[in-house]
Every structure is written in C-alpha cells, then in structure tokens.
Amino acid sequence: MTGTTATDTALDRRYGGDAPDGALPSNEVLDLLYRHRSVRRFTAEPVDDATVTAIVAAAQSAATSSNQQAWSVVEIRDPERRARAAELAGQQEFIRDAAVFLVFVADWSRAIGVAATRGAAAQAVDYVESTLVGFVDAALAAQNAVVAAESLGLGTVYVGSVRNAPLEVAELIGLPAGAFPVVGLAIGHPDPADAAGVKPRLPQRVVRHRETYRPADAADLARYDEAVRAYYATQGAARGWLDAVVARVRDIAGLHGRHTLRGALERRGLPSR
C-alpha cells in the first residue's frame, strides 16, 4: 500500500519538514511508530493489571540474545515507592503522576542461579559482553512495551535517570546480585492538556549510510538544529540540538553522575571486564 496523507503528515512532523521523498509503504503499525512522542503529563485514570500484562507480553516478544532472556521488569504502583523512584531519578514528577512505573533490568541473576543448581560457575557473566547483552535485551523489551502501550492509547516516557543512582534504585526494587537497572518507563493516560508533540529526528541522509559510513554534512546538521529549535519554540522553550550534543559530550557534568557506572556495575555483580 502506498503512502497516505496521514502517513505523509506524520513523517513530515517526524523529520521536521525534511522527510524522505516519494511514496512509502504505509500501515497502522508504521503510522503508530511515526507518531511516537514522550508523555510527561498524565491523568489520574488508572491502568489495569490486564493491560500491563499485555504490555509485558509484548515486551517478552522482543528479540533476545540466544534466548537467554537476560532481563526482567519491576512494576511499581505503590505511591510511596514511586515517589522515592522519582526522587532518585532527579525529581521527575511524572513518575509520581504515572499510573505505573516499570523498571527494566539487565538480569543475569536468573542464569547465575540456574548454573548454581547444576554445580556450575558463571564466569562469563563477569565480562562486558554479558553486560551488553543484558542491557540490549532490556532495551529491546522496553521498546516493545512502548509500542504496545501506545497502541492501546496510553502515553509513555523513558527514564534513563534511574541510572543516576543505580545502587539506590536497585535497593528500592530489591534487585539481587547480577541485576542492574537499565531504564525506567512511566506509563499512563496522557493529559489532554499536554502540548508535547512529535519531536523531529535527524534526516535519513545523516544516519543512513549506504555500503560505507560517511561523515555528516554540517549544513544538514544546521538545518536539523533549526527544526529542533522550531519544535521547542512551540513548547515555550529556546533549545537547539547542537548545543545539547556539545553539553552532553563536553565533560562529565553531562553524565549527571553516571560516570561512576562501572563501579556500580561491579558492586552489583557485573564487573564488565
């Protein structure tokens, strides 16, 4: 099926007016993906257990390395626990307001336990490859959860700042050794008054490389920066992409305390050698 007007409009928003040329295949899944936005304002309406069960089933349907399923998810509904999670994640108020907060976890504790029941060691868990597998598995699962939640009319926002204080978050949710919080996901019913929209992404010619990698064109990056500034202007903010990139990589301040993650991983039983 060729591209529709709705799809073209969604793509135009996604690329800030710099969408790929030509008609593209179109279906409901693609349209849903193009419309993704982060929601940080929720109503008080609850999300029932069956819905979260379906979301977790979708998460478990994601690809996983060698079927190791080296991830888990901790569901937080208790208001006091969510308030503590919000505090640890940099005072993110929307965690308090969300109907449910999911913490996706890189989890080798289960495999370590299985090995122990067979009288086997778990030396391979100590290496960075295993850490990466756990993080990738958790991230793939979380992305499936986002798509599932949005398909049900819910809003979501990722919370990477659970890694600002990973040891405290691990204690809050009772993680065993060999398990590490990767990313949080706030889920709820979007507040109709929330003005957040579809944030533009880099044009495909910057991120899509045919056969071999090529450096980004400065003019493309400048145009994209203008598109991001135009988006944030609709949100009442003066913010660009280029400045944000520099702020993130210039020094450790942009890591918001996460420069200590290697030590935290080791203390959680994932030395990542």
Q: Is the pLDDT of residue 23 over 90?
A: no
Residues forming a β-bridge with 100? 187
* pLDDT recorded at residue 147: 98
* pLDDT recorded at residue 2: 44
- β-sheet with 71-76: strand ranges across: 71-76, 100-107, 179-188, 155-159
Q: Are residues 93 and 167 in the same domain?
A: yes
Q: Are residues 94 and 205 in the same domain?
A: no
* pLDDT recorded at residue 5: 47
Mean pLDDT of 235-243: 94
- For residue 69, what are the domain limits? 49-192
Q: Are residues 202 and 155 in the same domain?
A: no
Look over the chain and give the mean of its residue pLDDT values, rounded to a whole number.
95
* pLDDT recorded at residue 195: 84
Q: Are residues 167 and 109 in the same domain?
A: yes
Question: pLDDT tens, 170-223?
Answer: 999 999 999 999 999 999 999 999 988 999 999 999 999 999 999 999 999 999
Q: Are residues 23 and 75 in the same domain?
A: no
pTM value is 0.94
Q: Is residue 272 part of a domain?
A: no
Query: d(Cα 59, Cα 221) in Å, to the nearest integer?
Result: 34
Is pLDDT larger for residue 136 or for residue 196? Answer: 136
Mean pLDDT of 232-253: 94
- Give the position of tokens 């008054």: 193
Q: Is residue 220 part of a domain?
A: yes
Query: d(Cα 8, Cα 162) in Å, to the nearest integer?
Result: 36
Q: Is residue 161 part of a domain?
A: yes
Q: Are residues 11 and 144 in the same domain?
A: no
Q: Are residues 94 and 180 in the same domain?
A: yes
Q: Is the pLDDT of residue 24 over 70?
A: yes
Q: What's the number of domains the chain is made of? A: 2
Is pLDDT larger for residue 105 or for residue 197? Answer: 105
CATH number at residue 167: 3.40.109.10
56: left (phi over 0), alpha (psi -120 to 50) or beta: alpha
Q: Are residues 54 and 127 in the same domain?
A: yes
* pLDDT recorded at residue 4: 47
Q: Is the pLDDT of residue 7 over 70?
A: no
Q: Are residues 96 and 162 in the same domain?
A: yes
* pLDDT recorded at residue 10: 86
